[in-house]
Structures are given as structure tokens and as C-alpha cells.
Structure 1
Amino acid sequence: MNLALIADEHPQLRHNLSEILKNQGFDDILESEDGPRAVDLALVRKPQLIILDAALPAWDGITVAEKISKRHPIPIILLAEAHTPIDFDRTRAAGVLDLVLKPFSAAQMIAGIRLTLQHFEEIAGLRKEVARLTESLEARKLIERAKGLLIRQGMSEPEAYRRMQKLSMDKRKTLREVAEAILLMED
């Protein structure tokens, strides 16, 4: 199910945005009139897209975006009046991916929705790749430390690595797990 959240104090605008989102494939639309309720809905229901008014009652849209993004990354679009001053550094840091100025057309909002979802997907892919590379680097460091320990015990570097590979295959463990076991024996 595609779920979206709209937070704006104007019911007619929420209705119009809801229709646009439904036409873009969103099955369920959550609505909020203020910031605190928007945060609660977002953290409990975890929508795939959030549209926030910059001038929400209680908490402004950027504050709401900050509170949500800290706990759960979600693509966020911020709506603002053309004359509203926007702190773009704070907006970007809060996880907002697009800013749409009011009044807007359905075509402008559709473009904003599509771009925001595409950018979020790209960012999520990059985050996964960074996590994978970080894990790979950490594993490589452990393997090198374990190999160094075996070398200090009298093996050559190729022998130490082959020994670790053989243990990995024999025990059906990853090289990282073998390295961790070797390092545990050192302690």
C-alpha cells in the first residue's frame, strides 16, 4: 500500500493534494492540521511521502521534518508561500527534498512528487552502498589484523591467507567470522 501524509491547516488544500496523490498511485492519505500530529502520524504509520506546509501551527514544517527525519528517513516536500523566508540550509539538513511554492498547479506538484520520490530512491541506494562498503572495509581490516597475527606466529602472508580461506570453507563461515575467531584467540 502506498501511504502519504499531508500536513497543512487548510482543509481545501489537503483535499486537493489528496486528489493529486491518489492520481499518482497513493492508496491511503493521512492528513494533519498541525505539526505535532504530523510527527505522530509519520512515526507510527511510516508513509512513503510527506507533504508539509512550512507554516504549520505549533511547529513549523522544517521542525516537523527534522523530528521525522531523525527517526525515519522519508521523502519530504515542503510547501511555502512565495513571500515566506526559508532557511535553505536548515531545510536541506531536515531532510526536505523539494520546495513547492504556493499557489501551485497540479502539474507542478506532480513533478515535485515524482522528482522527490526518485531522488529519495537514489539517496537510499547510495546509503545502502555506503553501508555495504563500510562493512566490507571493516571486514578487510579484521582479516588483515588476523592475517598479521598468523604471520607473527611464523606463517608467510600467502600461507596465512590460505589458512584463513581453508578455515572459512571448512567451517562454512565468512572470512570476517574466521578473522574474528582468530583475533579472539589472541586475547
Structure 2
Amino acid sequence: MKKALIVDDEPLIRQQVTQIVADYGFDELYEAADGSQAIALAAVHRPLLTVMDVTMPVMDGITAADKMNRTPSGAIVLLTGIADSETVTRAHDAGVHHYLMKPFNAEQLRITIDLSIHQFIEISNLRDEVAALKENLETRKLVDRAKGVLIKRGLTEPEAHRKMQKLAMNKRKSLKEVAEAFLLMEG
């Protein structure tokens, strides 16, 4: 199910955006009138897309976007009539994926939604890849340190590596877990 969150303090604009987003293919639509409601709804429903006004009571859209992006769940598009450099910089720093000026038409919003979702997916994939690379690097460092312990005990590097692999297979543990165990025994 594709979920979207529409946030605007003006009910007519919220209704217009909701219709465009529904026509785009989103089947679960949530609405909020301010940034604090948006944060609460985003935490519960984790929408793929949030379309949010910048200027709203209680909490503005940029502040809400910043808080929502601490645990990113989807693309964030801001709608606004404000184009000053400070606002644009704040939006960028808050992790907003796209910024659409009012007044806008349905086609502009559809294009913006498409680009924003693709950008969000690309960034998410890169974050996942970076996390996996960090994990692999950490594992490699631990394995190398553990092999060093075994080499000090008289094994060659290939023998140390094979011993750790065999132990990992026999104990149904990862190579990282076996390396951590060797390092704990040594420490």
C-alpha cells in the first residue's frame, strides 16, 4: 500500500493536493493541519510521501520535515509561496527532497512527486549500502585482529583464517562472532 501524508492549514489546498496524490496512485491518504500533527501521523503511518506547506500554525513545515527526517520514512515535498534563500537553505538542511512554489498545477505536483520519490529511494539505497560497507569493514577489522592472535600462537595467516571459518561453520556463527570470541579470550 502506498501511503501519503498531506499537510496544510488551508483545507481547500489540502483537498486539492489530496486529490492529485490519490490520482497519482496513493491509496492510503492522511491529512494534517500543522507540523506537529504531521510528525505524529508520520511516526504512526510511515508514509512514502509527505506533501507539506511551509507556513502553518503550531509548527512550520520545515521544522516538521527536520523532525520527520530523523527517522526517514519517505520523500518530503514542501509547498510554499516563499522563495528567499534562507527558507530554501533551511529546507535543504532539513532534508526536504523537493520544493514546489505556489501556485502550482496538478502536472507540476505529479512531476515533483515522481522526482522526490525516486530521489528518496536512491538516497535510502545509498544509506543501506553505506551501512553494509561499514559493517563489512568492521567485520574485516575484527577478523584481521583475531587472525593476528592466532598467528601469534604459531599459525600461518591462511591457517588462522581457515580455523576461524571452520569454527564459524561448526558453531553456526558468523565470522564476526567467532573473531569477537577470539578477541575476548585474548583480552
TM-score bracket, shorter-length normalisation: over 0.9
Gaps of 5+ in 2: none
* Amino acid in structure 1 at the alignment position of 2:36: P
* Amino acid in structure 1 at the alignment position of 2:32: S
Contact 1:75 1:97 in 2 (8 A): yes
Task: Give yes or no for the alignment of 1:87 onto 2:87.
Answer: yes
Q: Cα distance 1:41–1:16, how it changes in 2: closer, same or farther (>3 A)?
A: same
**Deviation for aligned residue 1:149:** 0.5
1:120 aligns to what?
A: 120
2 CA distance for matches of 1:86 and 1:11? 27
2 CA distance for matches of 1:85 and 1:33? 25
Compare 84-93 and 21-30 and name the one that shifted more: 84-93
Q: Cα distance 1:85–1:55, how it changes in 2: closer, same or farther (>3 A)?
A: farther
Compare 11-20 and 167-176 and name the one that shifted more: 167-176
Compare 120-129 and 152-161 and name the one that shifted more: 152-161
| Aligned residue pair count | 187
* Amino acid in structure 2 at the alignment position of 1:140: R
What is the CA deviation profile of residues 92-144 of structure 1, one whole-angstrom value per residue up to 9, with x for unaligned ones? 22120000000011110000000000110111111111111011000000000
1 CA distance for matches of 2:50 and 2:86? 18
Runs of 4+ aligned residues of structure 1 deviating over 3 Å after TM superposition are 82-86
Task: Give yes or no for the alignment of 1:67 onto 2:67.
Answer: yes
Compare 112-121 and 84-93 and name the one that shifted more: 84-93
**Deviation for aligned residue 1:168:** 2.1
Give the 3-state SS of the residue equivalent to 1:56 in structure 2. Answer: coil
2:55 aligns to what?
A: 55
Contact 2:143 2:175 in 1 (8 A): yes
* Amino acid in structure 1 at the alignment position of 2:45: R
**Deviation for aligned residue 1:83:** 5.2
Q: Cα distance 1:154–1:83, how it changes in 2: closer, same or farther (>3 A)?
A: closer
1 CA distance for matches of 2:185 and 2:85? 61
What is the CA deviation profile of residues 6-48 of structure 1, one whole-angstrom value per residue up to 9, with x for unaligned ones? 1111111111111111111111211111121111111122211
2:181 aligns to what?
A: 181
Give the 3-state SS of the residue equivalent to 1:77 in structure 2. Answer: strand
* TM-score between the two structures when normalised by the length of structure 1: 0.93
Contact 2:47 2:73 in 1 (8 A): no
Task: Give yes or no for the alignment of 1:130 onto 2:130.
Answer: yes
Compare 171-180 and 137-146 and name the one that shifted more: 171-180
Percent identity between matched residues is 47
**Deviation for aligned residue 1:69:** 1.1
Q: Cα distance 1:91–1:83, how it changes in 2: closer, same or farther (>3 A)?
A: closer
Give the 3-state SS of the residue equivalent to 2:25 in structure 1. Answer: coil
2 CA distance for matches of 1:76 and 1:86? 18
Superposed CA RMSD in Å reads: 1.5
Gaps of 5+ in 1: none
